[in-house]
Every structure is written in structure tokens, then in C-alpha cells.
Chains A and B, each alone.
Chain A
Amino acid sequence: MSEIAFFGAVEIGLVYALVALGVYLSFRVLDFPDLTVDGSFPLGAAVCATLLVAGVNPWIASLVAALAGSMAGLVTATLNVRFKILHLLASILTMIALFSVNLRVMGRPNVALLMQDTVLTPFYGLGLPDHVVRPLVVLVVVVVVVLLLARFLNSEFGLAMRATGVNARMARAQGVETDFHIYAGMALSNGLCALAGALFAQTNGFADVTTGIGTIVVGLAAVIVGETVLPARAMLWALVGCVVGSILYRLAVQLALSADAIGLQASDLNLVTAVLVAVALILPRMRLKAASKKREAVR
């Protein structure tokens, strides 16, 4: 793997670390399988790119993109909480709707950001090569998000949100407005994914409606890899695990793609990801089964 390919993998891993954190919030903290992210990630890219082309400050554009993602999360949460649509289906509805929304936002299938100022612009030309500057800037954003999120999840409000996901009935009996926490968590989760989309557009120089496909699987893969390499109960370390998982996942993919002997192409990425996630989901169950068989054998 070349140096540029390595930094490229780290960069994309860090961008998707934000998706992983969002997915961790929905899947793990709230126990809400949410596919909205496949729509909120390109929504973030679309909103950010459109605003950049219109000459808006890149940080403000990124923030607005995140807010747009939060709105998408709220739509899914409303469909589920208020109208009792199954969470998976609710999120698929929002996701499919967002495809049209994203096309409307951009006015065309993709927007190029070749000459636009981005959040990265001020940091280019400070002496470091561009392919190092990009992951560094994203890293700073990710670190800030991880610290804030850990602080949030350890607050009284955050604890109530975690309880909502673990045992909603008990949470309600302890006075937690579980519905409200689902709204808040879903907004936060999709806001993070949209922020990732905004950073993706800025680091890659374009926004495209199709970039969202498989976002959820990549996010989930990162969460699972993170849980495997860093099995932690403390909130901060669980979140760091998501980030580490996202980077490791990208490096593994890069390694697989660059090893000519395997004969994989870049277009095989989604297949490789799906297989990886499936294996990661199956393995713990197999291990459990093997363990119980062993116990029976001892008896």
C-alpha cells in the first residue's frame, strides 16, 4: 500500500467514523435499527455542497448540513414514535424520500467543488502535503465530537437516553420521557451522519446522490470492528472503539483491494463489506453455540 493510499484510507475512515458514531447512537444506545443514514449522509453532502457553491462559509455550511440531517432523523423518529410504523420501515421511507430531496437540493445528480473554499482550504499550504492535511483536519473534528458525545452520554440526559434503549419500560417507570429521548437521539445520530457527508463532500471535492448507498453497512461494520478490538464498557472508550473500528475497516479494505493476488476491484467494495458484516454478526453466535455444546459435553 502506498503512502497516499494509506492516508487516503485513514481519511475516509475518519470521515466514516462520524457515521459509525451516529450508528452507534441509533443501533446500540437507542436500540433503533435506523437506515435513514443512507439518505442523511448524502443529504449532508448535498446541503453542504450547494451552500458552498452559493458562497456560504464552509463551517456554517457544514453546520447547516448537520442540522438538515437531524431533521431527517426527526422524520424517521416521528414515523416510528408518533405513528407506530416499524422502525426499520420508517427509516427506509425516510431514506427513499431523501433521494428525491437530495436531487432537489442540488438541482442535479452531482455537484463539483473544485474551486470552492472548504473547511480544509486554510490548512493547505501550511507546509504539510494535502493528503496528510485532510485526515488531520477530519481527525480534529472527530476528536471534538467523541469528547462531546462521551460527555453527553454520561450526563443525566444521556443516561436516560441509554436507559431508553436498554429497557424502555423501566425507563418510563423512572420518569424518563422515552419518546422525547428517541427523538433527540435520532436527531443527533443523523446529524452526525450528515456532518460526515458534509466532510466527505469537502475532502473529495464533490457531492453525489449515490454516495449514500451502503452507508449504514459501513457504519455498522465500523461499530462491530470497534467492539471486537476495543471491548469497553466506559462510554468514552466505546466511542473511541467506533473511530478505531472505522479506520481499521478502511485499512483492511484498502489492503484487500491493493493486494493483486486476491484479484478484487474497487467495485467489489460493497460485496466485501456485506460479507464482512455478515461474518462479524454470525461469528459471536457460532462461538456461543460452540461454548454451550462444550458445556453439554462436559456434563
Chain B
Amino acid sequence: MITVNGIHVTFGRGTPLEKHALRGVDLTIPEGQFVTVIGSNGAGKSTFLGALAGDVIAETGSIAIDGVDVTRWATPKRASLVARVFQDPMVGSCTALTIEENMALAAARGRRRGLGFALRGDRRRHFRERIAELGLGLENRLHDRMGLLSGGQRQAVSLLMATLAGSKILLLDEHTAALDPGTAEFVLGLTRRIVEENRLTTLMVTHSMRQALDYGDRTVMLHEGRIVLDVSGEQRAGLDVPHLLALFAKQRGGEDITDDSLLIG
């Protein structure tokens, strides 16, 4: 369970570029819920995810994961509870290391890293079995460098890596935005499967309203650093992209939506 209480984040305080990115976000996500997060550019989606992951430390307010206050925890410490997949496949993996080394790195998340071999026989076998589940034939390429994989393959492996250490929370930061539509579809399907199999509490930031409604159980819309829409259950089931757009326009006080990226189905 994630409990977010009135968090504020300001970038570049006191400079001409000061940006009040989050202006009091409250959100409680029960265990096992899959929440999709939408909003226009600069709405604070990525900042919000960064605040949950520890990249951004909230100035006021609090964040608790499973009842533990993690507000002041830095990223590496939070990594014991939270797994992430980044938008850019280059950011989310070590391209110069092999696939199995990347997996070993992820599998040690939240543990003390000692002087034992990172890749022992039993671990290699385990990694091979797990990566075979993806059905991409990567089980025979464990010694290949991560950089040799395509963007889609890398995101698939990143998703798998997120499950290796048994974290219960998964943060997805537009993880299909850099992929072509067909590959994005595959990665999203894989996401759904992995979330269900591991009963992960998930936050998925997306640019696509279609995706936001098709995946998960709850949709949250951010605008100018605040949550302006929060739908789930039947209310959400009855929603379609045009409804969502209308709701969004209403929240913004009837302004026209000029941000093209929001309209992409």
C-alpha cells in the first residue's frame, strides 16, 4: 500500500526558472491496485513518480509504503521496496553489461551486496528459466550485452528485472513511449501479465488516454501539480477517451485542449 499525503515539490527555488511541480498531492493506493496516471506535459507525472521512487525528495508532506514512512529515503534505499521501468530503455539498463549481469544486479535489490560471485550456477539457471518465460528466445543470449537488444526486448527484460527481487511496488514511467505501436502492445500485454502474476501495486504513467483506460483498475489525472481526476470501478468502466477529454477540459475550467500529445488515442 502506498499513502501519499500532501506532497509539494519545487525545482529551482529562488531562480527565475522556479517550477512548483507538485502542489499538494494526496493519494492512497491499496495493495495490488494498478493505477494509470495521465496528464499533459509538465503536469507533474514524472515528478510524482520520481517522488515515489526517491529521485525527488518532497519538501512537505509524507510518503509511506506499507506503513513505513519513506519520505526522506534516498533512491537506493527505496529500491528495496520499489521497482521501476524507465521510459528510455537506455536509462533502465546497463547497456555495457550482459543480460545476466543486469539481471544479477536487479536480483540483489534490497540485499547487502557481498563478495560472493554475482553469477553462480544456480542463479544463472534461475535467470535462464525466468527469461525464457518472456518467449523472446533470450534464454540463449544471456551472455550478450544488453545494448545489443532492441528497445522492446530491453523493456521486456527490464520488466522481468523488476520482479526478480520480490518488490511489491512497480513504477512504470511511460515505459512504452519510445517503442513502435506493435512492440508497445507486446510490452503492455507483458506488463499486465507480470503485474497480475506477482500481484504488484502498480503506477503506470502514460501519454495515451486509450492505454490509461484499457489497463489497470484506476485512473488518475494530474494537472499543474495536482490530482484533478480520480476514477475507478464502474465510473471508469463507463468512460471513453472523449469523456475523459471532456472531464479534463471541465477540470481546466473550460479551456480548450491544445496539447496534441494528450489526444493521441
Contact = CB atoms under 8 A, between A and B. Distances in A.
Interface in B132-187: 145, 161, 165
Contacts of A166: 94-97
A173 B79 contact: yes
Interface string A156-198: 1111101100110111111111100000000000000000000
A178 B54 CA distance: 14
Q: Which of A160, A162, A170, A178 has the most CB of B within 10 A?
A: A170
B33 to A, nearest CB: 22
A155 B91 contact: no
Nearest to A173: B84
A217 B19 CA distance: 44
Contacts of B53: 173
Interface centre among B75, B84, B106, B110 (most CB of A within 10 A): B75
Contact of B114 (A157, A174, A178): A157
Contact of A159 (B77, B86, B101, B110): B101
B118 A158 contact: yes
Contacts of B43: none
B116 interface: yes
B211 interface: no
A178 B80 CA distance: 15
Contacts of A173: 53, 75, 79, 84, 86, 92
A172 B75 contact: yes
A167 B116 contact: no
A160 B114 CA distance: 10
A155 B118 contact: yes
Size category of the binding interface on chain A: 20 to 34
What size tier do the contact residues of chain B reach? 35 or more
A71 B165 CA distance: 35
Given A162-B97, A167-B91, A172-B76, A155 B115 contact: yes
B243 interface: no
Nearest to B75: A172
B144 to A, nearest CB: 10
B105 A157 contact: no
B108 interface: yes
A13 to B, nearest CB: 28
Contact of A174 (B79, B115, B118, B119): B79
A175 B101 contact: no
Interface in A99-150: none
**Interface-central residue, B84, B95, B114, B118, by most chain A CB under 10 Å:** B118
A156 B76 contact: no
A78 interface: no
Contacts of A159: 97, 101, 104-105, 113, 118
Contacts of A175: 76-77, 79-80, 108-111, 165
Contacts of A155: 113-118
B146 to A, nearest CB: 9
A177 B112 CA distance: 10
A156 B119 CA distance: 8
Residue of B53, B110, B117 most packed against chain A (CB within 10 A): B117
B71 interface: no
A156 B107 CA distance: 10
Nearest to A175: B79
B201 interface: no
Contacts of A177: 76
A154 B115 CA distance: 8
Most buried by B among A159, A169, A172, A175: A175
Nearest to B79: A175
B109 A156 contact: no
Contacts of B86: 170, 173
Contacts of A176: 76, 79, 105, 113
Interface in A80-101: none
Nearest to A177: B76
A152 interface: yes
Interface in B32-84: 53, 74-77, 79-80, 84
Nearest to A181: B113
A152 B119 CA distance: 12
Nearest to A31: B96
A172 B54 CA distance: 10
Which of B95, B108, B114 is the most central at the interface, judged by chain A CB atoms within 10 Å of its CB?
B108
16 contacts: A155-B114, A156-B108, A156-B114, A156-B115, A158-B115, A159-B101, A159-B118, A162-B94, A162-B97, A166-B97, A167-B94, A170-B86, A174-B105, A175-B79, A175-B109, A175-B111
Given A156-B118, A172-B74, 17 more contacts: A152-B115, A155-B117, A158-B115, A158-B118, A160-B105, A162-B101, A163-B94, A166-B95, A167-B91, A170-B93, A171-B105, A174-B79, A174-B108, A174-B161, A175-B108, A178-B76, A233-B145
Interface of B: 53, 74-77, 79-80, 84, 86, 91-98, 101, 104-106, 108-111, 113-119, 145, 161, 165
